[in-house]
Amino acid sequence: MTTDLTEITVVGDDDTGLVARVTSLLFERGANIEDMDQAVRDGVFRMNLAVDTAEMVCTEETLRNDLRELGEDLGLDVQVRFPADRETQRIAVLGTSESHCLEALFEAWANDELGADIGVVIGNHDDLEPLAQQYDVPFHDIGDENGQQNEERLLEVLAEYDADLIVLARYMRILGPNVVFRYEDRIINVHPSLLPAFPGAEAYRQALEEGVRVAGVTAHYVTTDLDQGPIITQRAFDVPDDADLAEIKRRGQPLEADALLEAVRLHLNGDVSVHRGRTSVRGGETTYQLGLSDEMDELTPDRPVDGIADAVDGATTPDGKSEDEAERETEPEPPANYSSH
């Protein structure tokens, strides 16, 4: 959404009349709705609004309270984020046991290369707690003894730390609509394949079993459709003929961290946007690596390509004549008494 607009997210059980009640309240207070999107998944209703509140006839606090009271009346959770609320951004990182992506985020943060604060680390196991403690960041374990996540507890922690962006640093659980709808286009995941190839679990193993020669990783926004969210960055690597699963992981994990970190920077800088399920990157002073590096791009052959034969057939000389016409003009004329009989 545009950074100078107020973002309003409405989530709750689906029912009739929800859209009308919310939009009527905004209209009555002089707020202009610039964009609106709604969806229902598994009985959960979601509506996102981009609202111009510059000329509304009440204060920001009044609008926030009025929307909260309406939400309580309708059984909805209403979140309001005014432009000033997004000036300082906070990240919540979710992880399970693999540490490489979290470590990359922490290092960038410690070196002032992230552009936001890491406010909390959340896990469905406690494996990453020592790493969080090393950087003096709170850690919350929301998993049971089998690692099953408690989504209600997850939402409580995210609200407690006022998370602007959720980063899934190899988090091995699927987030349900109740979470995704509240943070749409604000959850970034890294998946160990070149999506849309090999979605789901054990992506490296899938690639190995299919005998791919090139594998890769993808950082993408999370949607309610598993591993189908808008792609932000990708990285690729060669798979040797004798590679086993351990070797593929060894090659892929550093690129997982790299692709995820670049995607997070793009988001935090406001340089990536989502439209109709695809991302686009805003041109500016910052240069990003979205796919292959410039060095690899230079090694990619640029010819031959289809259409060369047509171009040759229709080629012209500098004076605009076709090569066939020029050739006929240069042929010597036969003598005057020449006969073809």
Q: Please state, in angstroms and rounded to a whole number, the distance separating the CA atoms of residues 332 and 323.
A: 16
Beta bridge partners, 294, equal none
Amino acid sitting at position 104? A
Q: Long-range pairs for 164-167 at CB < 8 Å and ≥24 separation?
A: 164/86, 164/89, 164/90, 164/91, 164/116, 165/89, 165/90, 165/91, 165/92, 165/116, 165/264, 165/267, 165/268, 166/91, 166/92, 166/93, 166/94, 167/91, 167/92, 167/93, 167/94, 167/105, 167/260, 167/264
Strands 139-141, 117-123: pairing kind: parallel
- In the set 141, 164, 185, 227, the catalytic residue is 227
* Closest-CA residue to 163 (of 186, 131, 189): 186
Q: How would DSSP label each residue in 17-66?
A: THHHHHHHHHHHTT-EEEEEEEEEETTEEEEEEEEE-TT-SS-HHHHHHH
Under 8 Å between Cβ of 148 and 172: no
Those residues with Cβ within 8 angstroms of residue 312's Cβ, 6 or more apart along the chain or in another chain:
none
Is 227 considered catalytic here?
yes
Residues with catalytic annotation?
Answer: 227
